[in-house]
Amino acid sequence: MLRGDPMTLDDVKLYLRIDGTDDDAMLQGMMGAADSYIANAVGADVDKTSALYELAAKLLISHWYENREPVGSASALAFSLDSILMQLRYTLPDATTDTSGDTP
């Protein structure tokens, strides 16, 4: 990845030291999930070409990839799951917000 270029599947595979294509579809899904996670955590206008974004995404993908099985890594998996649920919870539309534009 050149500075300023978006992260690619090859960048992720190099970071994780993965050869072959067996996990490509899963990694691409994790890349999309990491993108959503980061956007939810810091705002939709995050600079996806920054070094910090790339590092955050790679750390998330690495964690998810290495902790796919609950056996022996339940605490790491629970932390990851709790964090994802918290992100989802805070990005849901507020049911009490009036979006009609009318004021009572």
pLDDT of residue 95: 38
**Domain count of the chain?**
1
What is the distance between the alpha carbons of residues 40 and 83, in angstroms, rounded to a whole number? 11
Is 67 domain-assigned? yes
Containing domain of residue 26, as a range? Answer: 9-91
Q: Write the pLDDT tens digit of every residue in 35-76.
A: 998 888 877 777 888 888 888 888 889 888 987 776 655 566
Residue 58 and residue 15 in contact, taking contact as beta carbons nearer than 8 Å? yes
The answer to whether the predicted template modeling score (pTM) of the entire model surpasses 0.95 is: no
Q: What is the mean pLDDT of the chain?
A: 76
**2 in any annotated domain:** no
76 in a structural domain: yes
Angle 78-84-85 (CA atoms, 0-180°, nearest 5)?
A: 90
Structural domain contains residue 100: no
